[in-house]
Structure 1
Amino acid sequence: MTQPVDYLANETWTVGDVTITKVVESSGPFPIELLDPIVGAERVRSVKTGPSWQRPYYLSGNDEICTPVHSFLIQTPTKRIVVDTGVGDDRERDFEGFRMLKSGYLDRFGAVWDPESVDYVVSTHLHVDHCGWNTRLENARWVPTFPNARYLFIKAEYDAWKALAADPDASRLWDPTPYMMLDIERLFSESMLPIHEAGLVDWTEPDAVLTPEVRLIPTHGHTPGHVSVLVESGGQSTVMSGDLFHGACQVAHPEWHDQLDIDRPKGMLTRAGFLERFADTSTMVLFTHIGPSPAAYIKREGGSYRLEPAGA
């Protein structure tokens, strides 16, 4: 399958009576070493000689990968739902790749929906690259990007990051480089607290049914309240995985923990359970950080798993 020429192009899928559109904030390609702080340099080196199915779609001949950051816009017959909101522009961030972005994201979003028309905003979890555009900078203040939406927060997730933002020793949970990527204190004050103060938060269960077509699936481990989003309509289904996987290598090796997993044993079990549940089914998976297109089917291969890009 030929990689899309425009990595920033919107993609749309139809699931029964539901449409899902990907709006990209940033993409690639990038050297595979970008995954070093996520799954570890030794594991990344082993990927280069790993399963052949990863090449050339997920790993190019130049050892480059696409690790996008994007939102999924779910249009049901009754609701407009945004899943994950990226990093956000105009932010001071410790991690250079997230610092003071000028991404054009809102323009690409506006080509699909008016931000004021959104009903729900769902974050699979509250890491820096999943809730940034909860707010935007206006007159030196962080204000809700989607002012008429209800922001659906898992309370255990929110409370965990609130506590860590106030904890000067929070870095003890992670190695220095992964911790730097989180930027917890600024993230909480800019992208979470303003939503709560604006009265736009609805505390939501991790298995909540949002509409007849859309429900959350608890997939904890990466973070305390991490969820995936399942869409079922007209006999078709797709699931947005969130950050259960940061690279195709973790599909082949679900036992490889993510260095940003707050509960690494739980994260490994959750990945394995997700793969077992959806392997060899008609459910299309929409990944967050695996590209160049996020859409793929999970297939069993020997004692492990592989990805088959949708449309291949």
Structure 2
Amino acid sequence: MRPPVPLSAVRTFEAAARRRSFKAAASELNLTPSAVSHAVRKLEQALGTALFERDGHSLDLTAAGEALLDHVSRGFEEINRGFDLVATRAPQLLRLHCAPSFAAQWLTPRLARFLAEHPGFEVRLAAGMDYARFITDEFDADIVYGPPRGEGLVIMPLGQETVTPLCDPERAARISEPADLFDHVLIQSDNKLVRWPLWFERNGIRAPPSAGLRFDRSFLAITAAVDGLGIALESTFLAERELASGRLVAPLADRATNVQYNGHHLVFPAATRRRGPLRVFARWLAAELGADLPEEVA
């Protein structure tokens, strides 16, 4: 029968294996390098196998060490998730990754209300086009643009969006039908799923040659349209503040065929569905957007 292994020895092994250094592990754990080395030796004796290959100043894991580190790392991750689940004294931290235009145009303007409704919450928001890699446990959830990718994810569609030409009121006064767009600068959004050729096709017109202004973010295209630089083909969902204030107008909203699609989704690993802050945020988001709440967080 294998003798019991102290949890402290497992923690010491994990730090040394992750840092590939007894000295670095000692600094992290507030121990001496000799204490770390001794703890690892005791663990190797208990397991009856070598976990490290020691070659002068080099410290590498053996095959057994690599296998053990994989399991131990996942074990500590589960322990930390358990602490996050039951902790009540610490601030309720939500670590969120988000598509840039959704973050700038829709989410950030509402964060003040969300935080007012949920005292004690702390939100850490990162924006980027790359999807969050949940294997490092850096984020609780991601609001993605486009089809979600990855396995083992809970997916919550954030509702249907309408894409239509948007421009400033002065320019809108000169537009009454789709063909009028040929007389204006058309702002291109390079990373959009719905672009001008599709919109013109839906309206039975051949799209003009691609020219004018090009942006890689919707919030930049929306800002350019507000500033009178041209006509942006954008989501009324993302531009709702500009439309509500009158800075933007949708001149063809009722005179042309617009494109509707599900552009954004909230995604998170099924393993994190019990985290309190994530559940609260998902419920709030569903209520704000009239979206269907996944059973995993209902």
Task: Note whether the superposition's TM-score is higher than 0.5.
Answer: no
- The structure whose Rg is larger is 2
Give the helix-richer structure, 1 or 2.
2
Which structure carries more relative contact order (alpha carbon 8 Å, separation 6+)? 2
Give the strand-richer structure, 1 or 2.
1
